[in-house]
A and B are shown apart, each in its own frame.
Chain A
Amino acid sequence: MNKVGIPRALLYYQYYPGWRSFFEHLGAEVVTSPPTNRTILTAGISRAVADTCLPVKVFLGHTISLISKCDYIFIPSMTSFGKKTYNCSKIIGLPNITRAVLPEGPIILDPNIDLEKGRWYFYHQIYKLASHFTSNPVKMKKAIDIAWQKQLAYRKKMSDEKITPNQALSDLYGNPHSASPQKNPQGNLTIALLGHPYITNDEYLNHRIIYHLQNMGANILTSEMASQTAIDAAATKAVGETHWAFEPDIIGAGQYYTEMKVDGIISLSAFGCGPDSMMMVWVEHRAKDTKTPFLPLSLDEHSSGGAMLTRLEAFLDMIKRKGTKLPTPSPAYC
Chain B
Amino acid sequence: MKLGIPHFGNVYVPMKAIAQQLGITDALIIPPPMTQKTLNLGVKYSPYEACLPYKLTLGSLIETCELGANTLAQARGSGICRLGYYAKNQEQILRDLGYSAKFLTIDVSHNKLISILRLIKNLANDASWYEISSAFFFGISKLFALDKIEKVVQEIRAIEVEKGTANKIYHEAIRNIDEATKRKGIKDITKEYIEKLNHIEKNNKDHPLKVGVVGEIYVVIEPFANMDIEEELGKLGVEVERTMTLSRWVKYSLFLNYLGADEWRKVHHLAKPYIDHDVGGDGWESVGEKILFAHKGFDGIVHLAPFTCMPEIVAQNVMPSTREDIPVLAVTCDEQQGKQGLLTRLEAFVDLLEFRRRKNGRRIYNTR
Query: A-side interface residues toward B, CB under 8 Å?
Result: 48-49, 51-53, 77, 79, 84, 86-90, 92-93, 96-97, 99-101, 103, 112, 114, 239, 243-244, 271-282, 285, 298
Contact = CB atoms under 8 A, between A and B. Distances in A.
A97 B78 contact: no
A96 to B, nearest CB: 5
Contacts, number: 115
Interface string B270-286: 00001111111101000
Contacts of A278: 47, 50, 82, 85, 89
A273 B320 CA distance: 23
Contact of B277 (A77, A274, A285): A77
A298 B308 CA distance: 14
A333 B89 CA distance: 44
Interface in B24-62: 47-51
Given A51-B308, A103-B321, A90 B313 contact: yes
11 contacts: A51-B305, A52-B313, A89-B80, A89-B311, A92-B277, A99-B274, A100-B320, A272-B307, A273-B49, A274-B310, A281-B47
A92 B274 contact: no
Interface of B: 47-51, 78-82, 84-85, 88-89, 92, 96, 274-281, 283, 305, 307-311, 313-314, 316-321, 330, 332
A97 B318 contact: yes
Contacts of B307: 51, 272
B316 to A, nearest CB: 5
B275 A89 contact: no
Contacts of B275: 93, 96
B82 A92 contact: no
Given A93-B283, A93-B318, A273-B49, 18 more contacts: A49-B316, A51-B316, A79-B277, A89-B280, A90-B310, A90-B313, A93-B275, A93-B314, A97-B318, A100-B274, A103-B321, A112-B277, A243-B78, A243-B84, A272-B308, A274-B81, A274-B309, A282-B92
A51 B89 contact: no
Contacts of A99: 274, 321
A229 to B, nearest CB: 23
Contacts of B314: 89-90, 92-93, 96-97
Nearest to B317: A97
A92 B276 contact: no
Contact of A271 (B49, B80, B84, B332): B49
B310 to A, nearest CB: 4
A258 B78 CA distance: 27
A247 B276 CA distance: 26
Nearest to A101: B317
Contact of B317 (A48, A84, A244): A48
Given A89-B280, A243-B78, A243-B84, A274 B308 contact: yes
A265 to B, nearest CB: 16
Nearest to A240: B88
B321 to A, nearest CB: 4
B308 A239 contact: no
Residue of B92, B316, B330 ringed by the most chain A CB atoms within 10 A = B316
Nearest to A85: B78
A100 B279 CA distance: 15
A280 B319 CA distance: 31
A89 B277 contact: no
Contacts of A282: 88-89, 92
A277 B78 contact: no
A49 B317 contact: yes
- Complex A-B, nearest 5 residue pairs according to Cβ-Cβ distance, in ascending order: A277-B49, A89-B310, A93-B314, A100-B321, A93-B279
B51 A274 contact: yes
Contacts of B283: 89, 93
